[in-house]
Structure 1
Amino acid sequence: MPVDIDCLSEEELVDLNNRVVERLRFIRQARAHHTMLQFRVGELVYFEPDGRGRVQGVIVRYNKKTVTVLTPDGQQWRVSPGYLRKI
């Protein structure tokens, strides 16, 4: 459904922009949630942060946008699910 933005007022453009931004946030959050659900609490995973070697650990909880991974040495990492790989 094409929208002719040339005929919209500034107020209407601001409203349209707000609605578009909100929709994009929703889509990104849904995608992250879907990716997150591919992993289970208690599952062994690894990820590779920049400047470090592979970090391995166990998923201990889901957060709003990330999961918390507990490493064998007791460190907790909040990691985006898109960076995780199953072991």
Structure 2
Amino acid sequence: MTIDIDQLSKAELIDLNHRIVERLRFLDQMRAHVEMLDFKIGDQVTFQPPGQGPLEGMLTRYNKKTVTVITDTGQRWNVSPTLLRKIKPVKGTNTAGSNVVMLNKC
């Protein structure tokens, strides 16, 4: 499908521009949402901010385009899910002493 923009009025061009921008925003949000589905609240993740070493923390919240990660030092970061990697839990890790509650499936 081609659109001959030479035949459009200024008002139609402005409307077309607004519709294109909204569509691009929607596509970005959908991409971010799909990437967020790879993670769940409570996952241990790692990421590397520009100019810093890698940080590790726990995913605590989903936002529109990012997720919130609380690092081991207590810092709060909003991070794009594309920059995150899951940390594999060590087998036999004991969650005693943490505030994680294990629920039995019924």
- TM over 0.5, shorter chain: yes
Q: Which residue of 2 aligns with 1:58?
A: 58
1:19 alignment partner, SS class: helix
Q: Provide TM-score, normalisation by structure 2.
A: 0.78
Name the CA distance, whole Å, in 2 between partners of 1:12 and 1:27. 22
Q: How many residues align?
A: 87
4+ long deviations beyond 3 Å: none
1:2 aligns with 2:40: no
- Distance across 2 between alignment mates of 1:23 and 1:64: 15
Equivalent positions of 1:1-87 (< 5 A) are 1-87=1-87
What is the CA distance between 1:26 and its match in structure 2? 0.5
| CA deviation profile, 1:44-69 (whole Å, cap 9, x unmatched) | 11001111100001101111221111
RMSD of equivalent CA atoms: 0.8
Which structure carries more helix by proportion? 1
Identity of aligned residues (%): 60
Q: Which runs of 5+ in 2 are unaligned?
A: 88-106
- Measured in 1, the distance between the counterparts of 2:31 and 2:56 equals 24
TM-score by length of 1: 0.95
